[in-house]
Structure 1
Amino acid sequence: MDIDKLMSRPGMREYTTEQLATWVNDASQVRQLGQILQARLAAQQIEGDKPGSAKRRARKVGKRFNKVADLLQKAAAECEGLNEAYKRDVLDLPERRAKTLEKKQDRRQMRALAWAKARTVVDRSLTESAHAIAAPETAHGQPATPPQAVAPPPQYVSPQPYSLPNTGAANQPLPNITDLFPEAL
């Protein structure tokens, strides 16, 4: 087969189809041959055989034929996978890369538009704030009164404030908790 023809989509498909048909056909022939040979070996007695040894010997040989047939079928399946991998990883790769690059550029453009829009909104907000601070006038043209500071919310004060007794010296032992808070118990 011409290697240039093999490197094309129809050439690879033709090659893999040919191999697939050959190996599947070979697998079925090997399996049939194994069954025939196993049947003949099971019927053939060799001098000194014990009962059942011919059948065991036939199964061993038949098992090897079946293994060869299974391997041929797996080879046919791998050949089909070869065709798909070649299409995906070699022939379709430039098209997939072009689509990925196009999506990437679209995302970049969308991000740039979003950044521009956010920048416009921030600039407009800052401009309005600067004008409001520079010329604090109401709608009637009179100067606006500056906003008054809001008083902080009241803080919570415990209804029973406890005062700790002054211990005096620093090396004195601490009092018992029941001495400080008699109602707690």
Structure 2
Amino acid sequence: MDVNHLFTEPGMRDFTDQQRDLHMQDASQYAQIADVVRRRVAQSPIEGDRWLSARLRAWKVARQVRTMEKGAKLSAAGAEGLYTVFRHQVLELPDRREAAQERREQRREVRRSGRRGGAIGARAAKSLDKSAAHFNGLTSINGVPDARQPNFLDAEPSYYPMAAGAEGQSPSISDFFPREGRR
């Protein structure tokens, strides 16, 4: 086996496919052997056995082979995990780092441009307007409909009384956060 070929994507894929198939084939054989062992031991009573002694003994013996089967399946899963982790941690890492660096640069640029142009205050005001509109149940802000909000049909009349305080809508965000006593 060429070790340099192993550290390429096709090489690792081939290796892990071979190992996975080998371990799954072993697991299949172990399952068949466990079934044969269980049946054979159950059908071979030993002198002095009680009512379910042969079945219990067969289960105990076959359980060891079933453990081998589980181990083979775990090894097959480990082979598949090896390829996945290799691809994620080795092959795709440079691209992920580059994308993360680009996102960092974009955030820095947004922060730099926001400080100079006073855009932070405008964004805060827009956010507060959206919050007030949401609290009031409105679907548009300043007469501009929000395309992301779904259009609901009018509700049918309710036969239950309204909760206290639900009669009117607040006109602004300051109604939700009063400034009494703050200076």
Please list the CA deviations of residues 71-104 of structure 1 after superposition, one character each: whole Å capped at 9, or x if unmatched: 2112211221121111111110011000100111
What is aligned with 1:53?
Answer: 53
Please list the CA deviations of residues 38-97 of structure 1 after superposition, one character each: whole Å capped at 9, or x if unmatched: 111111133333333222111101111112112211221122112111111111001100
The alignment of Structure 1 onto Structure 2 pairs a total of residues equal to 119
What is aligned with 1:135?
Answer: none
In structure 2, C-alpha distance between the alignment counterparts of 1:97 and 1:55, rounded to whole Å? 59
1:44 and 2:44 aligned: yes
Q: Residue 19 of structure 1: CA displacement? A: 0.8
Amino acid of the structure 2 residue aligned with 1:5: H
Identity score, percent: 34
What is aligned with 1:96?
Answer: 96
For structure 1, which runs of at least 5 residues remain unmatched after alignment? 120-185
Q: How does 1:1-185 map to 2 (within 5 A)?
A: 1-118=1-118
What is aligned with 2:175?
Answer: none
CA RMSD across the alignment: 1.6
In structure 1, C-alpha distance between the alignment counterparts of 2:114 and 2:39, rounded to whole Å? 78
User: 3-state DSSP class of the match of 2:26?
Assistant: helix
For structure 2, which runs of at least 5 residues remain unmatched after alignment? 120-183
4+ long deviations beyond 4 Å: none
In structure 1, C-alpha distance between the alignment counterparts of 2:89 and 2:3, rounded to whole Å? 18
Larger gyration radius, structure 1 or structure 2: 1
What is aligned with 1:179?
Answer: none
**TM-score normalised over the length of structure 2:** 0.61
Amino acid of the structure 1 residue aligned with 2:90: V
